[in-house]
Amino acid sequence: MDFEIVTDSSSNLVEEMIDDFGLHVLPLTFMVDGEEYQSYLKGQHTDLKQFYTMMREGKVITTSLPNLAESEALMRGLLEQGRDILYLGFSSGLSGTFEATELLMRDLAAEFPERTLCAVDTLAASGGEGLLVWHAVQRARAGASIGEVRDWVEENKLHLAHWFTVDDLMFLFRGGRVSKTAAWAGTMLNIKPVMHVDDEGHLIPLEKVRGRKKSLNALVDHMEKSAVQPIDQQMVFITHGDCLEEAEYVADQVKERFGVKEVVINYVDPVIGAHSGPGTMALFFLADKR
């Protein structure tokens, strides 16, 4: 590639892809009991199972944007090396990350007028953001220019379907996504929400089902209804909140029902997981519409 792709740790890409693609990742931060952590550090393994164990134990988790000084240092270093930058950012409907990073890039563009800096609000989260990065890389490796890759992402980002469910509604309540009454009632009745990310990049509950297994199957049902053809040729991402066995069940369903060959499974990162909680399950693919 003749330009650099920068994304956020909220893209939930597996380490092997980050290394293989030569990606640059801006780490969002989270705090546990007042101590600050970065959700991604290149070359360092983060024990996300332990993170979700802390959540189950009732630890208070708060989140914040990437460190802008570190983001500036990374991008400035690339620009000084004569590299152009395409930034594919976390949905502005869920975080202030994109807005803050785009403003930083405008300042850098004024300082480096000979370089090209492009920023795309993916209006996507977790593996949805990551899958858009994956598609961008495929096009860049095929020889597309930075402008052509940017345009492809802009034109196709609202075809990146996100289907989520969670196991414990109380975490959504704490994050302000559902009311306390709905969270308590859903918990008592074993109601599981089925949600998606809409065209404005917001997490929206769409339906309710009773029981965990039905909620997992509902994600795959939505894929059947809307995935672009040929489904079996798609790359599919799944992210989970420390429930690998269930993620593998969803992956098996996708493979058996649609003949999909490539499914990548990874954890939901701490910044998103802090709001969705343990037991989060999410399925991502290209669709006719979100």
**Co-location of 112 and 229 in the same domain:** no
Structure confidence at residue 180 (pLDDT): 64
Distances (CA, A) of 207 to 97, 124, 165, 219, 278: 29, 20, 10, 11, 20
Instruction: Point out the domain boundary residue: 157, 172, 195.
Output: 157
Structure confidence at residue 41 (pLDDT): 83
Pairwise pLDDT comparison (277 vs 87), residue with the higher score: 87
Number of domains in the chain: 2
CB atoms within 10 A of CB 172: 23
**Co-location of 151 and 176 in the same domain:** no
**Co-location of 273 and 202 in the same domain:** yes
- Answer yes or no: is pLDDT of 176 > 70: no
**Co-location of 250 and 187 in the same domain:** yes
Query: Quick one: DSSP state of residue 261?
Result: -
Rounded to a whole number of angstroms, the CA Rg of the chain reads 19
Q: How many CA atoms lie within 13 A of 159 on its CB side?
A: 13
251 token code pair: 């992956």
Residue span of the structural domain in which 46 resides: 3-157
Instruction: Point out the domain boundary residue: 126, 157, 188.
Output: 157
- Answer yes or no: is pLDDT of 269 > 70: yes
Work out the average pLDDT over 15-37.
93
Work out the average pLDDT over 36-44.
84
Instruction: Point out the domain boundary residue: 157, 172, 207.
Output: 157
> Which residues does residue 192 pair with via DSSP β-bridges, in sequence order?
209
pLDDT digits 0-9 by tens, 111-161: 999 999 999 999 999 999 999 999 999 999 999 999 999 999 999 999 999
**Co-location of 201 and 124 in the same domain:** no
Q: Got the DSSP string for 17-82?
A: HHHHHT-EEEPPEEEETTEEEES--TT----HHHHHHHHHTT--EEEE---HHHHHHHHHHHHHTT
288 token code pair: 């006719």
230 token code pair: 């040929």
58 token code pair: 């009732």
Q: For the chain, give the percent of residues with pLDDT over 70.
A: 92
CATH number for position 202? 3.30.1180.10
Per-residue HEC secondary structure of 84-110 comes to CEEEEECCCCCCCHHHHHHHHHHHHHH
How far is it, in rounded angstroms, from Cα 10 to Cα 288?
A: 24
Range in 178-182, 199-203, 214-218, 269-273 with the lowest mean pLDDT:
178-182
pLDDT digits 0-9 by tens, 206-221: 998 999 999 999 999 9
Work out the average pLDDT over 79-102.
97
Structure confidence at residue 226 (pLDDT): 97
Mean pLDDT of the chain: 93
Structure confidence at residue 205 (pLDDT): 86
Write the single-letter amino acid at 141.
R
Q: For the chain, give the percent of residues with pLDDT over 90.
A: 78
How far is it, in rounded angstroms, from Cα 16 to Cα 90?
A: 20
